[in-house]
Chain A
């Protein structure tokens, strides 16, 4: 009798266990964002805004057959609050619509199975270089919706086409026109500015000037040595950060053509004058005494950046997010972020800065593309710009956005963006996608060997030779696919 009871209990336990395990498999429907994430502050905001929006509400709002929109948001440095707030505003303006937000720091990995199953969100904010490779894959598979019509259409709150609002040159970049045929597939979201950073306070105290040319840069090495610091450091085990020097330097040496040849696998690029001049800088950093901070190659990004902030190196590469990223990191007395861009080769040429653009996409298989496009236009309204500054502390790739959000971003970031608006030459660039199915990860191929260059275990000539071969292979693979 007793054993029977035990048996029954065991059975029940097991059953519960089995059922509960399978219950996990059932798809959970995502809740609309407003329910779980809205803070009291948000709601208050909405109420305040309501009066502003009311008058134009009826006249403006178009009717959409399908009123449900699934958006997928990469929850990175900019968080999700902006999207929650924006969706809230959108739903108010277009009554009856319902926006479901999926936001996750690992969004790429999260939506990957859905993408595989053909169950795509209507709108994705995720960058092409996301490690999950989702966007890269969608581009390679031609699975994104063309957005050119959105940018040709009138802005929701202004009487100009949206493309005129976007910062000049941005829509022509490979971020937005990935196939280089003038058709827009990626919509620019935030942008970031990258280049060399220095300790402003230390420079002011010592009377040093941020370098405008590479000669001035290397001349500072003497002063650096005297002060017991190295000239330069970078994010050692992630040598990909060196693109922040590579691309601007190429631009300075050979203009947009050199950058295009570099990013587009131009024939003979690596033996070109621009490439040689640029590689010479790296050679000089690797071989000049005191130029590269000791141990740099083995450091990860936080370690290298911390060393820089503690005064172990005079310069470090990074982007406009630097101050926010390192807000808890220890630093030397009086440390103040200063942005120097990337020096030019010739006296009198402008200092250059690399600009990176975050992207938003609508998949070709989106279930509700019309509403998704309307939502995309909504991002570019003044309301969107302001909300983005307030909630995401970021700057939309729209003219005048920097000043509109000045109160919300760090002073160093503001200066950094302002520098680009006032004289510093912005250059954008990302590698042209390699052939679909190619085994080459071009960014790894190009930047990883820099560790060997910095260790003086590979010369820049050997490097250029190796790269020429890889570029040839990329070109051949692309040609084989008719690109």
Chain B
């Protein structure tokens, strides 16, 4: 009895610092976000005026908000599935032991993840560079000169950004999947092989189900990743342009936050928060039942 109390005290003591920090830097600001979203607040001190849901009403009538929402949705729709599929495919391939230099490829694919987003964005803005970029030169070989640059055309800009985001994220999730696959017992594969299962069957019947827990986690990760990382990439590569055609929710929020509209910006954050929660819950529900434990 006495021992367990001492144990609990010790545990509490261990948790306390992180709990304090968590409350101070995560919980408290988060509560403040919700509070500020109900105020007209320049974010600079003086007079914050309580205006109820006025900020949200403004948002409903704000054209740019819908552009940002649409673009964020577009990025989610075009990047999440391809990123995870590519990650899974390469993870399976590289752990299969049939690829030479798999460690080399592992490093290469993971490389984008250790680069900062700003570096990645600058890199890709040169890849898409209209006069010296590799993409344009490549298309030029086939006589397909683009009249408008990829990043400067409202019809291509979001696709170009989506490709950058896939490239950036795939390696990271690949490494997570590889770690997961490594922890699956070799015995199962051997048994399957003896039973005559093909590589594809092994992947589909063994790897995917046993990896499902990790896949679920990565889906939540990438939903949040798309929302937050798109900020840096858009800010550096297009600054929301051309015109407003690549504005995403967080750049929209940022532009208002720095334009002395902290209240409005926080209302956008609340919406982003709700959207990510909803998406996470939906994805959890959709993927929930299939988890297999051994």
A residues in contact (CB < 8 Å) with B: 7, 11, 14, 17-18, 21, 112, 115-118, 131-134, 136-138, 140-141, 143, 236-239, 294-300, 303, 307, 312, 436-439, 441, 444, 448-449, 451-452, 455, 457-458
Contacts and interface: CB of A to CB of B under 8 A. Distances in A.
B35 interface: no
Contacts of A294: 130-131, 149
20 contacts: A11-B13, A14-B14, A18-B17, A115-B45, A133-B257, A136-B259, A136-B260, A140-B260, A143-B46, A236-B241, A295-B136, A297-B149, A297-B241, A298-B130, A298-B150, A299-B149, A303-B129, A439-B264, A441-B255, A455-B148
A307 to B, nearest CB: 7
Nearest to A240: B239
Interface of B: 10, 13-14, 16-17, 20-21, 40, 42-47, 49, 58, 62, 125, 128-131, 136, 148-154, 236-245, 255-261, 263-264
A455 B153 contact: yes
Given A143-B44, A297-B148, A439-B62, 11 more contacts: A112-B43, A143-B46, A238-B239, A295-B131, A298-B129, A300-B125, A437-B49, A439-B58, A449-B243, A451-B243, A452-B243
B45 A451 contact: no
Contact of A298 (B46, B149, B258): B149
B259 A133 contact: yes
B238 A143 contact: no
Given A312-B131, A452-B243, A455-B152, A439 B45 contact: no
A112 B258 CA distance: 11
Contacts of B16: 18
Contacts of B264: 439
B154 A137 contact: no
A236 B157 CA distance: 14
Contacts of B129: 295, 298-299, 303
Nearest to B55: A439
B42 A441 contact: no
B259 A297 contact: no
A118 B45 contact: yes
B263 to A, nearest CB: 8
Nearest to A297: B152
Closest CB pairs A-B (n = 3): A295-B130, A297-B152, A298-B152
A117 B45 contact: yes
Nearest to B154: A457
A21 B42 contact: no
Nearest to A295: B130
A342 to B, nearest CB: 23
B128 A298 contact: yes
Contact of B152 (A296, A437, A439): A296
